[in-house]
Chain A
Amino acid sequence: MRSHPPSRPPAALAPVTETTRAPDDDPRARAVAVFMDSLARSPLPRPRAVDPVALMRRAPLVDALAHLRARERRVLGPAIALEVLTFAAAAAVGLQVAATAAPAGPLRTLVEAAVRFAWAPTGLALLVAALPLLWWIAEAAAGPARRLER
């Protein structure tokens, strides 16, 4: 009795790419293919020659620099906010000094009112936001780095 060979699973097909695909009937798609082919064949400047061994040696430095930049980016926003708050507080203090030095009269009353108005939001913001911002800056600088592939 004749035995049949065991059936084999079909071989996996190689994935189709645009470069291996049959030419398209659509003239627009053909034009795109011709354009991309022309672009690929058009001359390129010569890349800088680098020894891969040098790249491997440089890799830890590049990695460290990327971490540093990521931390810098994380800290930038809170640092700007803190800077703005500090300047606002300095301006309020300046206004306070000006109020004590201002001549008596409507000008002094006006400056004193401005001081009260300026201190309310600035003082509140300093109390509420400054410490969390400082904490955030300290934590973000020491925190985990961003994903390496970025």
Chain B
Amino acid sequence: MDEDQFQALYAATHARLWAYVYRLTGERAAADDLVQDSYCRLFQLPAGRVRAGAERAYLYRIATNLVTDHHRRRTRLGARLRELLLAHEAAPPRAPEPGEGSELQAVFDRLPRRDAALLWLAYVDGHDHAEMAEILEVKPASVRVLLSRARARLADLLQTESKDHHAFPPALASSRGPGPRD
């Protein structure tokens, strides 16, 4: 990747990638470092390693792997062993930073990391399934199923939270009807 391409990619993706990494890590300093590392590693890749047009997905993939490594380093040994055994472990609890929509973030933090990443990529960043498969290193055919499970988990969490704390805006509360669960 030449310097002009890199600068164009940086300008086009930095804000969104930072938001993605920040929502997954919950720490501003960590998000800064991981995003910078992601760009550095992408720039250092040998020519031809990244398919033309797939730079954005590859960048997200690097960032996602760095976030996973970051969480692994932070968690205690027991939690790490559990993570090795169960791929669906939730992120460790953390103190919210001021002004970040802490109620929403608290719910988001309770999701397993892969679910959180999937939902963010699908609903906020607007990646298609093929891109998500490339970013999360899963089979393209699995994305629909994984996304559906992530959606169901978040819906369950929202339902529990709305019963317990009434912590969400009315728009959320009214959209949950008494209908059958999927």
Contact residues of A with B, CB < 8 Å? 15-20, 26-40, 42-45, 47-48, 50, 52-53, 55-56, 58-60, 62-63, 66, 148-150
Contacts and interface: CB of A to CB of B under 8 A. Distances in A.
Contact of A45 (B10, B43, B97): B97
B126 A20 contact: yes
Would you call the interface of chain B mostly helix, strand, loop, or mixed? helix
A26 B120 CA distance: 20
Contacts of B151: 28-29, 32
B126 A43 contact: no
A148 B122 contact: no
B40 A32 contact: no
Contacts of B32: 47-48, 50
Contacts of A148: 41, 44-45
A59 B43 contact: yes
A18 B44 contact: no
Given A19-B126, A26-B182, A149-B58, A55 B40 contact: yes
Interface string B159-182: 100000000110110011101011
Contact of B41 (A39, A53, A62): A62
Interface of B: 3, 6-7, 10-11, 14-15, 18-19, 22-23, 28, 31-32, 35-37, 39-41, 43-45, 58, 61-62, 65, 69, 97, 99-101, 104-105, 107-108, 119-120, 122-124, 126-130, 147, 151-152, 154-155, 158-159, 168-169, 171-172, 175-177, 179, 181-182
A52 B7 contact: yes
Contacts, number: 143
Contact of A35 (B6, B40, B168): B168
B124 A40 contact: yes
A27 B119 CA distance: 17
A35 B172 contact: yes
Contacts of B62: 149
A28 B176 contact: yes
Most chain A Cβ neighbours within 10 Å, of B69, B155, B159? B155
B152 A52 contact: no
Nearest to B97: A45
Contacts of B122: 17-19
A34 B105 contact: no
A38 B124 CA distance: 10
19 contacts: A15-B128, A20-B126, A26-B179, A28-B181, A29-B155, A30-B175, A31-B158, A31-B172, A31-B175, A35-B168, A36-B120, A36-B124, A38-B169, A39-B105, A44-B22, A55-B39, A62-B40, A62-B41, A149-B65
Contacts of B41: 59, 62-63, 66, 148-149
B6 A62 contact: no
A59 B40 contact: yes
